[in-house]
Chains A and B, each alone.
Chain A
Amino acid sequence: MHEDLNWAIGGEAGDGIDSTGKIFAQALSRAGRHVFTSKDFASRIRGGYTAYKVRTSVDKVRSVVDRLDVLIALTERTVDENLDELHDGSVIIYDGERTEFSDFEAPDDVTGLDVPLKSLAEDAGGAIMRNIVALGAVCEVADFPIENLDESLEKKFGGKGEKIVENNKEAARLGAEYVEEEFDLAFDFDLETTDNDYVLLNGDEAIGMGAIAAGCKFYAGYPITPATDVMTYLKGRIENFGGHVVQAEDELAAINMALGAARAGARSMTATSGPGIDLMTETFGLVATSETPLVITNVMRSGPSTGMPTKQEQGDLNQMLYGGHGEIPRFVLAPTTVAECFWKTIEAFNLAEKYQTPVYLTADLAMAVTEQTFEPEKFDMDAVEIDRGKVVDEDEISKWQNEKDQFKPHAVTADGVSPRAFPGTEGGVHMSTGLEHDELGRRTEDVDVRVEQVDKRQQKVTTAEEEEDFSYREFGNPDSDNLVISWGSNEGTLIEAMDYLDQEDVDVRLLSVPYIFPRPDLTEDIEAAEEVVVVECNATGQFADLVEHDTLTRVKRVNKYNGVQFKADELADDIQEELA
């Protein structure tokens, strides 16, 4: 019996791969099983190979693996693409009545189940349901009670009427019955169900949900893979909380609209990917200089230029740290799990308003499009805290006016943070500008005022380092001589890699760093270790460079930049090689 099941459906874009995968993933989650999904997709609308993979276990699953137990192949290419991952005992479900499968033979040691997906679907009411027939077949193969599919089908098709839902349930049953009656086979799978409650969501959705939880009311964005899901999540939901989403004409407009809303007092956000950050960088400097609180989400993909839009990378770290001319105080947060995407988004809004400065929130493609199960308590809305910083109303405004009753939006203070008056506040009238300015916001080239304002803005970073807890998440053996450091979505894969390393009697201490700037000082941790390895999905080791810069110590690097996220066993091998 397998402790987990690795399942995939593959075909051409437009074959309904995503929705079929999602239906199965939800059914597993509702049956109290942990789920981790991943997508392999090309940058095109129809055609081209695409796959949706689901890994499920009763235990927590945090990464993808190189093994495939059950594969629904809608095209023969699907089999070719996944050949390496099929193993002795794997099952392929295909439709032999399709031309390209007419003389298909499953690879040795793999069981091929020829299920007439299309004709069974037609029996149930329409050929379009052939993927659902396949799901039914999977339930029979995996010994997963088919009733678990029903709720997912209701959720997916409920809006289209009872008849459609019933037809789909019937399609699934026909698929299951076909396998049961036509094949006299015993499979090794036995998908246990539990009473556990789980929610299933991806990083983009968690960021959107975090934004609403944080009181974000305004979002402006421009469609770009893989950040668009943030916008589609918010659209239709944020309105229920008094907010609004604008699909802007370009990224320049998006960040400027978000800036305008923020200056009007709204919690405001935009999200994009690296190429969009390039375009937004012009205004990023204005956001910082005008001391406007703004959250800018960067869902990273492979660069540079248009790069590989649908592939994984963590290559934009330097862009977020250093992008823009002049010197710009900023925060850069990098959540390490889907659940952390939720909490770091809320933290991003609090930091933005407390310190009146832009905050980059970054997820990578692997985390943004990866769905994962969590206990709903991981998104406990009662634990959400809101800090709007130094907002002043009519009663307090006089404290921040000069002798001519002019409000000082850039007043020099010990902590570097000035008072903030929302438009409409009587006595708070002021202008702000990207030009260097005095405390009133008026342009100046006075050498002393220039230095004073630069120092004031930089002071915010120092204050935040003192007041906030920019620490790391720690796993593994705290006393190990082997230190592994990562940022972003590699945390889950590393936790699973530690199991593989454990089998080889290699123990490690893992520090997963969710703050890029400011970030925790790792000097003591590095001095206490004998070997240090920094793991990241880029070619040059951008975070490793920072670690070396901060600690004045050389570190070893494990980098992957072929567009595919790390797999746990592969990562364990790479780390072991560096440690040897």
Chain B
Amino acid sequence: MSSNVRFTDFKSDKQPTWCPGCGDFGTMNGMMKALANTGNSPDDTFVVAGIGCSGKIGTYMRSYALHGVHGRALPVGTGVKLANPDLEVMVAGGDGDGYSIGVGHFIHAVRRNIDITYVVMDNRIYGLTKGQASPTSRSDFETATTPEGSKQPPVNPLALALSAGGSFIAQSFSSHAQRHTEIIEEAINHDGFSLVNTFSPCVTFNDVDTYDYFRDSLVDLGEEEDYDPSDREQAKDKILDSEKEYMGVLYQDDDAQSYEQAHGVEGNMADIDTDGAPDGAMDLVREFY
């Protein structure tokens, strides 16, 4: 890790092909700033992404990265982190990627509590496939595939994370650059699985969950003096509040043991003896006598 790293070091020379005004620009900038502010360097950072607009992030950032298949980014991140716990592993996904096709992986990554930071660019729509309902779309939101609204309640990712034993649950908004960066910094510094559900408006296909909507409606818990993120009951009330939406760290359990701690996973698994079988391997044969 180097203290001389600037956030622009995490920027690649590729120009994003996101639509002008897309919320993903702000989400990504916050990720890069937070990585630099927490003392990480591109050489020691691994970013995993799935499919969709969010999946493009690995191309626009500069770090070790893998752009995988739809919904499977968290298992890839899990493998990377366990194989080399020294790496800073950040997983980026979209609401479709993470809460629809990948929702099973999401629940299990949360309950494993592996030390990775999961940033979900939640625009409540499928963007890259041109405007279908996503799992976080409102039930009355009309799209190409739900002309009369989906008539199904949206997934509440924060509630899923809390019920699965999540140890860091946060919500952010890409347009609040400073706050967004702070929240991701806290997520990186948290020792365990960190969810940052980031509202990242789609200016092309979603005219309901807009910049104006989030700017006007989001309540920042960081500004509420009596809010204690370590209080699970308080967090539950906020997360299940159907009247309001919140920003900030909703829940954080600093005492939760990470997967790596619980299983004694340490060391870089890339290091192996190239002279032959590892020392002590003959004992494996003796077991079968």
Say whether A and B bind each other.
yes
Residues of A near any B CB (own CB < 8 A) = 29-30, 197-201, 205, 209, 212-215, 217-218, 220, 237, 239-244, 246, 248-250, 252-254, 256-268, 282-283, 286, 290, 376, 379, 381-388, 404, 422-435, 442-443
Residues of A within 8 A of B265 (CB): 244
Q: Could you tell me which B residues sit within 8 Å of A by CB distance?
A: 13-14, 42-44, 46-48, 58-59, 62-69, 72, 75-84, 86-87, 104-105, 107-108, 263-265, 267-270, 272-278, 280-282, 284-286, 288-289
Residue in B closest to A208 when the chains form the complex, CB atoms: B284
CA distance A442 to B56 in the complex (A): 10
- A262 in contact with B79 (CB, 8 Å): yes
- The verdict on A200 contacting B76 (CB below 8 Å), with A215-B272, A218-B83 known, is no
Beta-carbon nearest neighbor of B82 in chain A? A244
Distance between Cα atoms of A248 and B87 in the complex (Å):
21
Residues in B neighbouring A425, C-beta threshold 8 A: 43
Q: Is B83 within 8 A of A242, CB to CB?
A: no
With contacts A249-B104, A443-B59 taken as known, whether A268 is within 8 angstroms of B84 at the C-beta atoms is no
Known: A220-B79, A286-B69, A429-B62. A423 touches B263 (CB 8 A): no
Complex: how many Å from CA A85 to CA B86? 60
**Roughly how many angstroms separate A257 CA and B89 CA in the complex, as a whole number?**
13
Known interface pairs A386-B273, A429-B63; A249-B42 also in contact (CB < 8 Å): no
A240 and B276 contact, Cβ closer than 8 Å, known pairs A197-B289, A261-B269, A431-B64? no
CB distance from A209 to the nearest CB of B (A): 5
Q: How far is the CA of A257 from the CA of B116 in the complex (A)?
A: 13
- Check B76–A257 contact: CB distance below 8 A: yes
CA A63 to CA B38, docked complex, whole Å: 62
CB distance from A395 to the nearest CB of B (A): 15
Asked, given contacts A381-B276, A423-B87, A433-B58, whether A249 binds B105 with beta carbons under 8 Å apart, the answer is yes
Q: Which residues of B contact A387 (CB under 8 A)?
A: 274
Question: What chain B residues lie within 8 Å of A423 (beta carbons)?
Answer: 43-44, 46, 64, 80, 84, 87
CB proximity of B13 to chain A, nearest CB, Å: 7
Given the known interface contacts A237-B284, A429-B42, the answer about A253 and B72 at a Cβ–Cβ threshold of 8 Å is yes
With a cutoff of 8 Å between Cβ atoms, the chain B residues found around residue A243 in the complex are 269
Rank and list the top 7 A-B pairs by shortest CB-CB distance, nearest first: A260-B79, A265-B270, A256-B75, A431-B65, A266-B269, A215-B272, A264-B83
Question: A383 contacts which chain B residues (CB < 8 A)?
Answer: 276
Contact between chains at A261 and B83 (CB < 8 Å): yes
Q: Is the CB of B78 within 8 A of A386?
A: no
Q: Are A264 and B278 in contact (CB under 8 A)?
A: no
Contact B274 A386 (CB under 8 A): yes
Which residues of chain A are near B86, meaning CB under 8 Å?
424
Q: Beyond A263-B66, A379-B285, A381-B281: 9 further Cβ-contacts under 8 Å?
A: A205-B288, A217-B83, A237-B284, A241-B280, A260-B77, A266-B84, A282-B69, A384-B276, A422-B84
| Nearest Cβ on chain A to B236's Cβ, whole angstroms | 25
* Contact (Cβ within 8 A) B82 A283: no
Select one of B83, B264, B278 contacting A265, CB under 8 A.
B83
Smallest distance from the beta carbon of A328 to chain B beta carbons, Å? 14
* Bound-state Cα–Cα, A432 to B77, Å: 14
A259 engages B76 (CB within 8 Å): yes
Q: Could you say which residues of chain B place their CB within 8 Å of the CB of A386? A: 272-276
Contacts of A385 in B (CB 8 A): 276
The answer to whether B78 and A431 have CB atoms under 8 Å apart is no
CB distance from B268 to the nearest CB of A (A): 7
Q: How far is the CB of B288 from chain A (nearest CB, A)?
A: 4
14 contacts between A and B (CB under 8 A): A199-B286, A241-B278, A246-B78, A264-B79, A264-B269, A268-B83, A282-B69, A286-B69, A386-B274, A423-B80, A424-B43, A424-B86, A433-B66, A443-B59
Do the beta carbons of B108 and A253 come within 8 Å of each other? Answer: yes
A260 and B284: CB pair below 8 A? Answer: no
Residues of B within 8 A of A260 (CB): 48, 66, 75-81, 83
C-alpha gap A264/B274 in the complex (Å)? 17
Q: Evaluate contact between A218 and B66: CB separation under 8 angstroms.
A: no
By the criterion CB–CB under 8 Å, are B78 and A433 in contact? no
